Structure 1
Amino acid sequence: RGGKPAAKPPAPEQAPLPPLPPLPPKWSEAELAAMNDLRHALEPEISHAVPFPEVVGERRLMRYLRGHKLDVAACSEKMRRMLVWRKEAGIDAIRADIISSRITGPQSLPRYEDMHSIYPIYLPSRRCVDLKGNLVTIERFAFSVEQALHVLGPEDILQYHFYVMELKTLILERLCDDMDAERAAAMRRGEADAFPAEGEGWGALARLNVIRDFKGLQLGALTNSTCRALILDIVKSTSDYYPELMASCAMINVPQIFSGAWRVIRNVCEKATVEKISIVGRNFVPELLKRANPDPNPNPNPKPDP
């Protein structure tokens, strides 16, 4: 009585939680082998490149590899050209400016007011996906060439385009980060449908469903030599240096005058790029409805296009 209460016995030590089992590889065995070979082949170039993950990380390597059927020799040559081009064309500086200036949409881009009037773009958003989970992006090409070139030089238009491409790349990269984190968490919870089939990987490689609207396209866009050269430059550099960003592309409201130009344009594109493009014309609604759900409240978690 009156003394100090007896000390409580120490709580029994809890047994440590068992370690989590390792996750299956993010990429298939063949893809991992090709990626390691490609990284080794590009070791000098990558070591001197700005270490942007969406430029020299595993997903960019995988985009090149999947776009060229795991041909390491072809991919290494194309990536070398891409890294040189990024430095010479100032693309690394554009990417750095997007981050440092906290640019999240085209309205913050240089010359936006001038460009938006001639080249309206709707950036991909997680709120707008097709039936395969690809983000939808829309581009419109109705403008007067003479008016556009009076206000903007070809270099301004080209710079704006690559700002947009870098934004799209960053949007996809962040989506892939989130998709990988969510799937890894689901596998750790033991959700059976989160695990890949035997021999397959599970790493996300999100892509775009591109809709290009040519309604109002004027003949001058194809006959003006400056404009024609600019279009070819944009098409070729996008095809060469942004591989496998596009899952599909529907060209809608395409006028008859475009058919001749398309025969020229397709020759500067990668074969894999051309195969993803369909020219729909004016009766495009039924075709687009096969790809995207008009429901304003679609399934928020569609399975991504592999």
Structure 2
Amino acid sequence: MTVTETVAPVQAQTKAAAEATTSTWTPPPGRLGNLTPVQEAALVKVAAELRAEGAFVEARHDDATLLRFLRARKFDVLKTKDMLLASEKWRKEFGVDELVRTFDFPELEEVDKYYPQYYHKMDKSGRPVYIERIGNLNMKALYACTSQDRLLKRLVVEYESFLTSRLAACAAAEGHPVETSLTILDLGGVSLSNFIRVKDYVFAATSIGQNMYPECMGAFYIINAPWTFTAVWAAIRPWLDEVTAAKVQIVGGPRVYRPLLLAQIDADCLPAEFGGTCACAGGCSLSDMGPWNPEGNKTASASPIASALTEKLAAPAPTEVIDVPVNGQVLSV
């Protein structure tokens, strides 16, 4: 396919995205429906170059995905292509497609006691809300019921579910594309020693999120930040690129963070412990409540990724594999 042949479908998809928007919603800059001529040319070029090298994956490299990587590399085509190729190489080595088809996480309830990590409903912009709490972190108890390797595998499967299931459900509910999440990291009760013990996992999760699933985080609120977090932030900050770091807002206790969160999230979508009114049966952290799962989990033992896995199990396994030498690098969503 020539560059000229590639331009027409991209322009058609861009026009369709623009026409699909409602009168009250406009695509943010750098998204389909709101591209500058330079950005659109970069999209065409990176797609054409990937195709020319036999590295274009039809199942994944749609325009929205290519634009996520382009935004992460400020629309530099060469850097974007390197990032995409590094991502494809990592997917093969990590076994992402096989994980999505087969991974199960029966230790979910036990892990939730020590390190809750969960999606819960949407914010006022239609973005899935993702919450992590590390104040009750007990590394000995956590790693007695799971391992860092399994936590990272769960993280990757959740990213895949986020992209293929959660965002699509939120977009359908809102009537316009949704591409990012709102993250809440609760540090209430956390100690510096707790963070030091979990830093290896946080670093690995940061690496995966930032370079394998770029531009998925729309806003990041770190709440209940203790004074010792200055040292923690000094350790985390070098791991983040400037775009990611700019999205992080560090705030103190309930008097500060509750009005801030409620300005972003309706009270009935925000768990009561954070100042909202939601109190899901069995606990919000195990409910997986949202447009992707409107009735929530019926039992506490239900897995938050079960519906996405079921959908993937019914689909044929991808057959295209990328194995190319690359130069690239690898925060939870």
State the TM-score bracket (shorter-chain normalisation): 0.5 to 0.7
Q: Per-residue displacement from partner, 1:208-246 (whole Å, max 9, x unpaired)? A: 11111122324333233xx32221111122111111111
Stretch of structure 1 that moved more, 277-286 or 165-174: 165-174
Q: Say which is worse superposed, 159-168 or 237-246, in terms of deviation.
A: 159-168
Alignment partner for residue 137 of structure 1, among 125, 130, 139? 130
In terms of Rg, which structure is larger?
1
Is structure 2 residue 116 aligned with structure 1 residue 120? yes
Equivalenced residue count is 237
The percent of aligned pairs where both chains have the same amino acid is 22
Is the counterpart of residue 232 in structure 1 residue 203 in structure 2? yes
Counterpart among 127, 149, 152 of residue 155 in structure 1: 149
Q: Per-residue deviation at 1:78?
A: 1.1
Tell me how far apart the structure 2 counterparts of residues 229 and 45 of structure 1 sit (CA, whole Å): 35
What residue identity is the alignment partner of 2:162?
A: K
If the length of structure 2 is used for normalisation, what is the TM-score? Answer: 0.63
**Which AA in structure 2 matches 1:214?**
L
> Residues 176-203 of structure 1: CA distance to partner in whole angstroms, max 9, x if unpaired?
77489x56xxxxxxxxxxxxxxxxxxxx
Q: Aligned partners of 1:177, 1:284: CA distance in 2, in Å?
A: 27
**TM-score of the pair, normalised by structure 1:** 0.68
Change (3 A) 1:177 1:42: farther
Superposition pairs for residues 62-77 of structure 1, below 5 Å? 62-77=67-82
Query: Cα 1:177–1:156, aligned 2, differ >3 Å: closer, same or farther?
Result: same
CA distance in 2, matches of 1:31, 1:97: 38
* Distance in 1 (alpha carbons) for counterparts of 2:257 and 2:188: 12
Q: Deviations over 1:124-148 (max 9, x none)?
A: 53xx322x33232222223112221
Q: Is 2:115–2:142's contact at 8 Å kept on the other side of the alignment?
A: no
In structure 2, the partner of 1:36 is 44
Q: How does 1:157-196 map to 2 (within 5 A)?
A: 157-175=151-169, 178=172
Give CA deviations for 1:83-109 in whole Å, capped at 9, x if unaligned. Answer: 1111111222223347xxxxxxxxx63
The answer to whether the Cα contact below 8 Å between 2:46 and 2:81 also exists between their aligned partners in 1 is yes
From the superposition, tell whether residues 221 and 85 of structure 1 become closer, same or farther in structure 2 (CA, over 3 Å).
farther
Aligned to 1:111: 107
Question: Contact 1:252/1:284 (CA < 8 Å) preserved in 2?
Answer: yes
* Structure 1 residue 35: Cα displacement: 1.2
Alignment check: 8 A CA contact 1:59 1:205 kept: no
Confirm whether residue 261 of structure 1 aligns to residue 232 of structure 2. Answer: yes
RMSD of the alignment, in Å?
2.8
Matched residues in 2 for 1:168 and 1:256: separation? 33
Provide the residue aligned with 2:86 in structure 1. Answer: 81
Q: Gaps spanning 5+ residues in structure 1: where? A: 1-21, 99-107, 184-203, 297-306
